[in-house]
A and B are shown apart, each in its own frame.
Chain A
Amino acid sequence: QSVLTQPPSASGTPGQRVSISCFGSSSNIGSNTVNWYQQLPGTAPKLLIYSSNQRPSGVPDRFSGSKSGTSASLAISGLQSEDEADYYCAAWDDSLNGWVFGGGTKLTVL
């Protein structure tokens, strides 16, 4: 059982916009920023969004993040087949004094 809650799956067709939610609590998302990771099959996770809404260099601007209260969201616009992957949210938890992750959302491009 993950501390952060994500939907297990999401899907969309090429060109569509999809959104993935992440729900937490006051000790994690409510107090700290959220990071998002993309994990392609058989590979290590890759940082996609940091500080809730910032993109590392090289990440397309099709990816965007937002946070409000104790929840966060990752949006992908202009969906492409190569976006098919697992997506994880993460935040620092002040009560646990450690990182917590969501259970992951498997994105399927139909």
Chain B
Amino acid sequence: QVQLQESGPGLVKPSQTLSLTCTVSGDSINSGSSYWSWIRQPAGKGLEWIGRIYTSGSTNYNPSLKSRVTISVDTSKNQFSLKLNSVTAADTAVYYCARYYDILTGFRNWGQGTLVTVSS
């Protein structure tokens, strides 16, 4: 059974870069045709898709965040990462990593989520 685990600083200062890593266990990040995504959820609010990276390394980002987001993959560590630069308080949220195979089947695997607070 595949497991995803987010890690990274829980506190980031305004204007700095938020960096998170998702470690995948129980399966190879290179196996099959998987899309690895980041999704966030501000406290008391809904879910927002940030972006995805395909097994091949190609990426797609939410247009509202595209100018500030980079998602990358490290196959040697079975991890993929999120970088969000120039953060503000509006970026404070629980950040989830998740996997899906295609747009029909949805996000089947999720990490437990990690809270990132943007504050000085």
| B112–A98 CB distance below 8 A | no
| B110–A44 CB distance below 8 A | yes
Which residue of chain B has the shortest Cβ distance to A101 in the bound complex?
B47
CB contacts (< 8 Å) of B37 on chain A: these are: 99
Q: Let me know if B103 is at the binding interface, CB within 8 A.
A: yes
| A51–B60 CB distance below 8 A | no
Partner of B106, one of A50, A102, A104: A50
The docked-state distance in angstroms from the alpha carbon of A14 to that of B98 is 32
Once A44-B113, A56-B108, A104-B46 are accepted as A-B contacts, the answer to whether A98 and B103 lie under 8 Å apart by CB is no
Which residue of chain B has the shortest Cβ distance to A51 in the bound complex?
B104
| A101–B49 CB distance below 8 A | yes
Give the Cβ gap from A39 to chain B, nearest Cβ, in Å: 8
| B108–A47 CB distance below 8 A | yes
Most chain A CB neighbours (cut-off 10 Å) among B61, B103, B110: B103
CB contacts (< 8 Å) of A43 on chain B: these are: 112
| B108–A44 CB distance below 8 A | no
CB contacts (< 8 Å) of A32 on chain B: these are: 103
Once A100-B49, A101-B47, A103-B46 are accepted as A-B contacts, the answer to whether A33 and B107 lie under 8 Å apart by CB is no
Instruction: Count chain A residues whose beta carbon lies closer than 8 angstroms to a beta carbon of B.
Output: 26
CB contacts (< 8 Å) of A104 on chain B: these are: 45-47
Question: Can you add 16 more A-B contacts, CB < 8 Å, to A97-B60, A98-B60?
Answer: A2-B46, A33-B104, A37-B106, A45-B96, A45-B107, A47-B106, A47-B107, A50-B108, A51-B104, A88-B46, A90-B107, A96-B62, A96-B63, A99-B39, A100-B49, A102-B46
Q: List 19 A-B contacts (CB under 8 A).
A: A2-B46, A32-B103, A43-B112, A44-B96, A44-B112, A50-B105, A51-B105, A56-B108, A96-B62, A98-B49, A98-B60, A98-B63, A99-B39, A100-B49, A101-B46, A101-B47, A101-B48, A103-B46, A104-B45
What residues of chain B have their CB less than 8 Å away from a CB belonging to chain A?
Answer: 37, 39, 45-49, 51-52, 60-63, 96, 103-108, 110-113
What residues of chain A have their CB less than 8 Å away from a CB belonging to chain B?
Answer: 2, 32-33, 35, 37, 43-47, 50-51, 56, 88, 90-92, 96-104
